[in-house]
Amino acid sequence: MGNPNIPANYMMTKLSEAKIHFERALDCKHTEFDDLYPYMIEHPQFFWYKRYVAWSELLTIVKLCTELSIEWEQQFSQQQTDYIKKRVMSSKVLDFWFETNDSRVG
C-alpha cells in the first residue's frame, strides 16, 4: 500500500490540474483526452463527452479533498463552488462557469 498521509499540497496540485483540464475542455482546447482518443474529434458528441470526462475528474478530486479534510473551495469562485457542490454538469455550468458578477467581457 502507499502512503496513507497524502500531502495537502499534492492534492492542491491535482485539484488545480483538474480545474485547468475542465476549463480547457469547456473552451474546446486541446487536452490529454484528445491524445487518448484522437479519432473522436470526428464525432459530434466528442466535445460533450470530453467535457463530461473533465467534469468527472474534477468532482473526483474534490471528493478526495473533502474526504481528506483538505480545503478546496478557495480555488474556485463562489458560483463555481456552488456548481461543484450540486455535482450535475448542466448547461448552466457550461454557459456560466467563467462568468462573474460583472459578466465576462470579451
The mean pLDDT of 24-52, rounded to a whole number, is: 80
Are the C-beta atoms of residues 15 and 72 closer than 8 Å to each other? yes
Percent of residues, the chain, with pLDDT higher than 70: 88
Determine, yes or no, domain membership for 84.
yes
Torsion of CA 95, 99, 104, 106, to 10 degrees: -30
- Inside any domain, residue 4: no
At residue 51, φ and ψ (nearest 5 deg) are -65, -40
The reply to whether 5 falls in a domain is: no
Residues 69-84 have pLDDT tens digits of 999 999 999 999 999 9
Coil, strand or helix: which one is 55?
A: helix
Domain extent, residue 81, equals 17-96
Between CA 105 and CA 65, with CA 81 as vertex, the angle to 5 degrees is 135
Instruction: Say what the pLDDT of residue 100 is.
Output: 57
Nearest to 58 by CA among 28, 35, 24: 24
Find where cell 466535445 sits.
Answer: 47
Domain contains 78: yes
**Any domain includes 6:** no
pLDDT in tens, 39-62: 777 776 777 888 999 999 999 999
